[in-house]
Amino acid sequence: MVYNCTLFNLLFGYAPLCPACSQVTDKPRHFCPACRNSLATISNPCKKCGLPIPQGSHCGRCLTHPPPFEALISACVYQFPLSPIIQQFKFSARLYFAYPLSQLLADRLLQDSGRTWPECIIPVPLHNARQRQRGFNQAVELARPVAKRLNIALDHGSCTRHKHTRQQASLKRSQRQANLHKAFSLRRAISYRHVAIIDDVVTTANTVAAMAEMLRSHGVETVEIWCIARAL
Ligand SMILES: [Zn+2]
Ligand SMILES: [Zn+2]
């Protein structure tokens, strides 16, 4: 099917083209079926941390040191051709990639039958300085269409990141944890019992674990982590 509104859509940021191959897709604003099939997924993820395991339901580390969240669910693995798309979305403000990326996650979540949905979705906040520099928070842009499709409330105002954390990648493990200590706090009281945190890419999971810990200290019983891509 050819869209005669392609120019309009491109001009107004609603490109119907596949973000990976730039071809017109059968479903506007989605990855085309071929590119979608080329995106790597984790076939047997640990039910807690989401990392691949050869067999069973939980990795050894989660059995001995369970993380402060219930489950980490990622749509895909962070690798080509997804990685440059996420980088362009974040660093070149290609905001029209948010929708197709968000649908990868929504589709993944809808695959599970009988799941209990959270009361709300909380995107990982950016520190004010980072948000001013970037002009948007990528996690909010991804969370908005996911919340809409799953009909779950979106709360992007309650949680704040009040310390300008240094780039995690440049730090050692112990420094990373200290760096994240008390990085998140609440602007107002919350009464949720079950929430999902959304981020674009999860690498070490230290950031989302710090946020989950903070939410649990405020009475949230179950915290899930949802992300577009998991770096392995
Ligand atoms: Zn494609
Ligand atoms: Zn695990």
pLDDT tens per residue across span 179-227: 666 799 999 999 999 999 999 999 999 999 999 999 999 999 999 999 9
Q: Which ligand is nearest to the CA of 57?
A: 2
**Boundaries of every domain in the chain:** 41-230
pLDDT at 3: 44
Q: Does domain 41-230 have CATH number 1.10.620?
A: no
Q: How many residues does the chain have?
A: 232
Question: Largest Cα–Cα distance in the chain?
Answer: 57
The span from the CA of 120 to the CA of 22, in Å, is 33
Which segments of 9-84 are extended strands (E)? 71-77
Residue 15 CA to ligand 1 center (angstroms) comes to 13
pLDDT at 4: 44
Kindly give the pairing relationship between strand 184-186 and strand 159-161.
Answer: antiparallel
Contact between 222 and 197 (Cβ < 8 Å): no
pLDDT at 95: 93
Residue 138 CA to ligand 1 center (angstroms) comes to 22
Q: Which ligand is nearest to the CA of 100?
A: 1
Burial class (CB in 10 A: 0-12, 13-18, 19+), 52: middle
Query: What Rg value do the Cα atoms of the chain yield, rounded?
Result: 18
Q: Which ligand is nearest to the CA of 66?
A: 2
Residue 169 CA to ligand 1 center (angstroms) comes to 31
Q: Which ligand is nearest to the CA of 81?
A: 1
Residue 117 CA to ligand 2 center (angstroms) comes to 21
The span from the CA of 71 to the CA of 65, in Å, is 14
Q: Which ligand is nearest to the CA of 39?
A: 1
Residue 16 CA to ligand 1 center (angstroms) comes to 11
Residue 149 CA to ligand 2 center (angstroms) comes to 28
Parts of the chain with a pLDDT under 50: 1-5
pLDDT above 70 as % of the chain: 86
Burial class (CB in 10 A: 0-12, 13-18, 19+), 100: buried
Q: Which ligand is nearest to the CA of 53?
A: 2
Residue 133 CA to ligand 2 center (angstroms) comes to 35
pTM of the predicted protein model? 0.88
Residue 182 zone, left/alpha/beta (φ > 0; ψ -120 to 50; rest): left
Residue 33 CA to ligand 1 center (angstroms) comes to 7
At 15, the amino acid letter reads A
**DSSP secondary structure, 11-69, as one string:** HTT---B-TTT--B-SSTTS--HHHHHHS---SSB-TTT--B-SSSSS-HHHHHS--SS
